[in-house]
Structure 1
């Protein structure tokens, strides 16, 4: 499942954490919320980045998508 598909199913506080901490290690509590709506990630899932000893990271593609989404939400188009 792509980030575009599961993002709307996250609660607003989880979305805000991901926006505020974009690119940081994703804590287990946030990752659990993501996998509850997106399912367990496979290695080739587009939003999956590195899973290092210090923790799980979103992919560069997902980080860019979140940044774009956050910027679009903050703009006022008339």
Structure 2
């Protein structure tokens, strides 16, 4: 019994000290992770990376085609792939 009283008194003292510094107390939702939401966010990020990779590949093809057209216009040697 004495230990639980000491623990709760210590906890109250810690809470008072924490509040004196103006720090908000963390709520229970801040203390625990929602692993389902974290997995969903990871999946969305992975999909975005895949979309970005496809976009970059298409952009590289367009840029190479434009460079080839410019080289052809100026009579430079064009590499055929």
Higher Cα radius of gyration: 2
More helix by share: 2
Give the TM-score taking structure 1 as reference length.
0.22
- Relative contact order (C-alpha < 8 Å, sep 6+): which is higher? 1
More strand by share: 1
Give the TM-score taking structure 2 as reference length.
0.22
